[in-house]
Structure 1
Amino acid sequence: MTATLAHILRHPIKGHGREELASVRLVPGEALPWDRTWAVAHQASHFDPEFPAWAPCGNFQRGARTPAVMVIVARWDEEAGLMTLAHPDLGEVSFDPEGDTAPFLDWVAPISPSDARFAPARVVRAPGRAMTDSDWPSVSVLNLASLADLGRQLGADLSIHRWRGNLWLDGLAPWEEEGWVGKELRIGEALLKVRERIGRCKATSANPDTGEIDVDTLRALRESRDGQIFGVYAEVIQGGEIRPADRVEVL
């Protein structure tokens, strides 16, 4: 069976909303366009808005501490500079992430931590640098067959949205991607080099339809795999357009 690209997803505000794309143009040395461009710094964050730079995920509100945010879906209008987020319990909010973000902070407050130290304080960005979990601009690549196999172990139908990945591949053997570090992937017009495997956190235990913890994904990964690993991070080394149904070649 030929491997193909099944889904393209971006998450414009780290931890707050997912958006599926019909196509995207990858750029060498950069993350997926508009993926994790912004993040939500909490009150205890060490992110310095005067000297903005990439910072580890612990400085931001995210699903590991706040599982209810896993339900949020996003729609980013690049031309209008307008972000629209939706949550079944909160409705919709639209705002300019580069302008007045008070409407968003008020909107997300009811599903944010009650501990004031971790309450959302501001929407931030590091110019020219995506707030990926890796300390380099990565694109995450995941395998639908591995997801199905893990779901069988757990006796659950696991959504792709638990993993907040960028590129989901179909037509592979389960867990094949674990042996890709150092290899290159041809996807559509683009070429990516796999650099490392992805260590997972508690956010993956949250159901992205309900925002509630319902399965222990981390224990299942520890018991069946080499640690809490699911998926791989890749670097774009040749840019180009990609779209679902594009052929995937492991070089």
Structure 2
Amino acid sequence: MADPRHGRATIGGVRLAEIYTYPIKGGYRRAQAEAVVEPWGLAGDRRWLVTDPGGRFLSQRQDPAMALVRPEADPEGLLLRAPGQPDLRVPVPRGAADSQVTVWQSTVAATPAGPDADAWLGGVLGRPVRLAYGDDPTRRPVKPAHSRPGDVVSFADSCPVTVANAASLDALNAWLTGAGQDPVPVTRFRPNLVVADAPAWAEDGWVGRRLAVGSAVFRAVKPAGRCLVVDTDQETGVRRGGVLRTLAGRRTRDREILFAVHLIPDGPGRVAVGDRVTVR
């Protein structure tokens, strides 16, 4: 891995190049020019969750076809779209948060979206599922090993925000093409923020420090461990091996395959494409 001092020496010209949110955990992304930063993540990010009938979360790990679920979010709810399915408007549910949903080791209360949304998603995924809304995103704490008391996260895997480095993707794509494989876009890694003009793997040196972006400040708390989702084409939902195996050969530490870095907001703020990124 890169020497952390390398990142410290060259961080000055880094800028924010892309912003993404994912209204439904595991669903398609929404590209944005700017975003509000809330304590639990970017506004609107992963506030909706697909579960099995028992309330256990589903993701592209089990169902690559979730990449075909293309939600458009607004303050009133979601417009669900997918190939071969009629569009469905799902309003933000106003009922009681009387469902229990589980994301990894966290079980929290959430509000059911209703049978129409459940049936629509079941038609896409080919199995019985439920859709729930995280009406109160402060219910789920971040794991203590990487957080402070009061840190919370919506339905993201572990931390509120993930940042990827465009130069690191270029390095990975050089490895892939050198092995006769196709390059991949950064969307394979489902980041919230993508930075440009940093050296490849400079982000290794950001862990344990703070990133200032726009009016927001984030703590970089740990590298992002990767799974077979990175082998799923986010446009087609088709999974084909190669990316995870290539990363595993060069970017494994403590039995985790690493790409990108997890962040926790220090407080509210706003970020926009073009913002300068500084590391403190």
Q: Which runs of 5+ in 1 are unaligned?
A: 46-58
- Checking the alignment, whether the CA contact within 8 Å between 2:117 and 2:131 is kept in structure 1 is no
| 1:87 shift after superposition | 2.3
Higher radius of gyration, 1 or 2: 2
Q: Is the 8 A contact 2:34 2:272 kept in 1?
A: yes
Q: Is structure 2 residue 99 aligned with structure 1 residue 96?
A: no
- The one-letter code of the counterpart of 2:14 is A
**CA–CA distance in structure 2, aligned partners of residues 113 and 197 of structure 1:** 34
Number of aligned positions between the proteins? 229
Counterpart-to-counterpart distance in 2, 1:95 and 1:236: 29
2:204 is the counterpart of 1:209: no
Deviation track 1:214-246 (CA, whole Å, cap 9, x = no partner) reads 232221111011241111111111432210011
1:125 matched to which residue of 2?
Answer: 134
Q: CA deviation at 1:89?
A: 3.7
The 3 A distance-change label for structure 1 pair 177 and 3 is same
For 1:42, which of 30, 47, 52 is the aligned residue?
Answer: 52
| Distance change (3 Å), C-alpha of 1:71 and 1:172 | farther
Note if contact 2:214-2:270 (Cα within 8 Å) is conserved in structure 1: yes
| TM-score (ref. length: structure 1) | 0.83
Tell me how far apart the structure 1 counterparts of residues 205 and 199 of structure 2 sit (CA, whole Å).
11
Q: Does 1:33 align with 2:55?
A: no
| Residues 1:232 and 1:91: Cα distance change in structure 2 (over 3 Å) | farther
Q: How many Å apart are 1:200 and its aligned residue?
A: 1.2
Structure 1 residue aligned with 2:6: none
**1:139-150 equivalence runs, <5 A:** 139-150=161-172
CA distance in 1, matches of 2:61, 2:135: 22
Contact 1:144–1:169 under 8 Å retained in 2: yes
| Other-structure match for 2:143 | none
Aligned to 1:56: none
1:178 aligns to what SS in structure 2?
helix
Once the two structures are TM-superposed, the CA of residue 111 in structure 1 deviates from its matched residue by 3.3
Paired residues of 1:4 and 1:171 also in contact (CA < 8 A):
yes
- Number of the residue aligned with 1:5: 16
Q: Which stretch shows the higher mean deviation, 97-106 or 241-250?
A: 97-106
SS in 2 for 1:185: strand
Show the 5 A alignment for 1:11-26.
Answer: 11-26=22-37
Tell me how far apart the structure 2 counterparts of residues 33 and 202 of structure 1 sit (CA, whole Å): 27
Query: What's 1:110 paired with?
Result: 123
Q: What letter corresponds to residue 12 of structure 1 in structure 2?
A: P
Q: Per the alignment, do residues 126 and 202 of structure 1 end up closer, same or farther by CA in structure 2, a change over 3 Å counting?
A: farther
SS at the partner of 2:224? Answer: strand
Whole-Å separation in 2 of the counterparts to 1:199 and 1:101: 33
Query: Is residue 168 of structure 1 aligned with residue 194 of structure 2?
Result: yes
Identify the match of residue 86 of structure 1 among 81, 84, 88: 81
What's the CA shift for 1:126? 6.0
Look up the SS of the partner of 2:195 in the other structure: strand
- What is aligned with 2:176? 154
In structure 2, which of residues 69, 74, 77 is the aligned counterpart of residue 72 of structure 1?
A: 69
For normalisation by structure 2, the TM-score amounts to 0.75
Unpaired segments ≥5 residues, structure 2:
1-11, 95-112, 139-153
Shift of the alpha carbon at 1:124?
4.2
> 2:120, 2:165 → 1: CA distance?
34
Q: Is the 8 A contact 2:16 2:275 kept in 1?
A: yes
Larger mean Cα displacement after TM superposition, 16-25 or 93-102: 93-102
Amino acid at match of 2:60: G
Which residue number in structure 1 is paired with residue 270 of structure 2?
Answer: 241
| Displacement after TM superposition at 1:35 (Å) | 0.9
Q: 2:212 aligns with which of 165, 180, 186?
A: 186
